Amino acid sequence: MTLSIAGAAFKKPSALPGFAPTLGFTLFYLSLIVLLPLGALVAKASGLGLGGLRAVAVEPRVLAALKTSFGAALAAASIDVVFGAIVAWTLTRYRFPGRRLVDALVDLPFALPTAVAGISLAALYAPNGWLGAPLAALGVKIAFTRWGILVALTFVGLPFVVRTVQPLIEELDRELEEASATLGASRLRTLARIALPPLVPGLLAGLALAFARGVGEYGSVIFIAGNVAYVSEIAPLVIVVKLEEYDYVGATGVAAIMLGVSFLMLLAINLLHAWSRRGLGHV
């Protein structure tokens, strides 16, 4: 192999063939589909310069949308962490009829197209909908307000938390909990001091995943959000609006800001996953 001299450091020797063609194809396809298009966006955005990016970011409408997107995504991810942890705990520790069906259903937001989720949530929470009508009687309006964004993002983020925490709960050492109980700790204290700490990195990773997804989410939100500029408009929608106005510079600027956040979130998620694995002693 021609790679052998340089490859001694690059790749460990292996008896299996096919390294060069498969890695070559992987890198080629990755570059063509992902890296070049994203690189083009980064190149175009860097043409704006930091000042140009800042000018786009502080545009009142853009700023309001970024605040809405980040705020709603963080709030929704926090709701998902609380209820996702309860769902994961219930599904892992308890046995009840229909548990398997419920467990399968948790992945629904992964599989259901966002536009379908969007129109069904909007229909559900509309003033004449199944949930919207009773809520309207109480004077609560969800659909076509900022609360609608929260509902949609909570839906979208839930499986990220459940699926990140579930395997960690499965691997918890119950003997530690028994030891804690025999030493006189109340169940609540055992949960807080013994069961919860190993789950924290997973919960944070789930939070980060749900947040990252929520910030960029478009399809499930636009139907239920109302999309009023400065009030209930999300950042991805601002990109779409700017494109429709042929404001490519503005669209690129907003996209570059969101892409930067994606990179940071990806980094944070990888670190959290590494932490969570180390915490369990798997390395």
User: Which among 161, 150, 175 is positioned nearest to 91, based on CA atoms?
Assistant: 161
Alpha-carbon torsion 74, 145, 221, 109, what sign?
A: positive
Nearer to another protein, 54 or 187 (CB): 187
Nearer to another protein, 118 or 201 (CB): 118
Distance in Å, CB of 88 to another protein, minimum:
9
Distance in Å, CB of 27 to another protein, minimum:
8
Nearer to another protein, 163 or 200 (CB): 163
Distance between CA 193 and CA 136 in Å, rounded?
A: 42
Distance between CA 29 and CA 141 in Å, rounded?
A: 47
Distance between CA 169 and CA 64 in Å, rounded?
A: 39
> Cα separations (Å) of 238 from 112, 211, 277?
24, 19, 38
Distance in Å, CB of 143 to another protein, minimum:
13
Q: Work out the end-to-end distance of the chain between its first and last CA atoms, rounded to an integer number of angstroms.
A: 33
Distance between CA 36 and CA 30 in Å, rounded?
A: 9
Nearer to another protein, 230 or 263 (CB): 263
Distance in Å, CB of 105 to another protein, minimum:
5
Distance in Å, CB of 51 to another protein, minimum:
20
Residues whose CB is less than 8 angstroms from the CB of residue 103 and which lie 6 or more positions away in sequence, other chains included: 91
Distance in Å, CB of 60 to another protein, minimum:
20
Nearer to another protein, 107 or 245 (CB): 107
Nearer to another protein, 129 or 201 (CB): 129
Q: What is the largest CA-CA distance in the chain?
A: 76
Q: For residue 275, give the 3-state DSSP assignment.
A: helix
